[in-house]
Amino acid sequence: MSSQHPCITDGWFNEVNDKSFPGQAFSLKVNKVLYHEKSQFQDILIFESSDYGNVLVLDGIIQVSERDEFAYQEMISHVPLYTHENPKKILVIGGGDGGVLREVVKHSCVEEATLVEIDSRVIELSKKYLPGMACSFKHPKVRVKLCDGFQFLRDVAESGTKYDVIITDSSDPDGPAEAFFQMEYFELLYKALNDNGVVIAQASENVWLNLDYLKTLLHTARAVFPLAEYCSTMLPTYTSGQLGLITCCKNPKVNPTDPSRVPTEEEQTNMRYYNRGIHSAAFVLPTWAGKVLKP
């Protein structure tokens, strides 16, 4: 394990990516490096920050921080789960930190949640350094498959297995996650869904960073699904403070902007970000972005 990292200078972690975040950068003050290694698939860094708790970084890009991770985990999980009227069988691709699983199993109607993660080191290190998220791996409804998500979906297509909700919690479209933003991937997602199935995928970008990329991604999704919409969540440790999500419905009569179910009182007490109002509001676009992204 190395205590040094090229993204850390003078006690500050610096996220710089001219491809994804041109002309801007993001920094967090580092108390200490907890872990650093290059796994078989990616560069993994975990550090303790001064104000955001422990932070997981993959290939130089922040994935989660303990302070604000719930804003991402709750929206990418609950938007599709409350859009579906009765989700029982859930597939999560990526998300080795366990945060999405933690949110999925809050739904009593869920009977099975399968997580597919290519890098076992992310799971192992999250259990040690991000226990508030990785606690979900102990849940009896959770199953873990250590393999490539793309190949898993190909196998699913051959077997005929179907899911009610599929959540793609991949890293950014560089390196091992690049395939998760292409046409074949959306086609495999479509095949893996039940008739009323819902897919959500983190879009990597938002309207402030790369509107043209989002337009292309939505065009790809809409070539496969009868309905695909953009929504977003807000959290400070993602560059520009916003992260985009693409929600796709196999049934054109299912409206992702209007949840089919609402949280029970007990469910809502276990959520810090998501509620019915913010579900619908997350799909509202500023005028200039809506002109580009709306079908």
Question: What are the residues whose beta carbons fall under 8 Å from the beta carbon of 183, sequence distance 6 or more?
Answer: 220, 223, 224
Specify the 3-state DSSP secondary structure of 149.
helix
Cα(266)–Cα(243) distance, rounded to whole angstroms? Answer: 27
Phi first, then psi: give them for residue 243, nearest 5 degrees: -125, 135
Tokens of 79: 């938007």
Cα(42)–Cα(96) distance, rounded to whole angstroms? Answer: 13
CA distances from residue 164 to 108, 114, 195, 241, 288 in whole angstroms, order as listed: 14, 12, 8, 30, 34
Indicate which residues carry an active-site annotation. 169
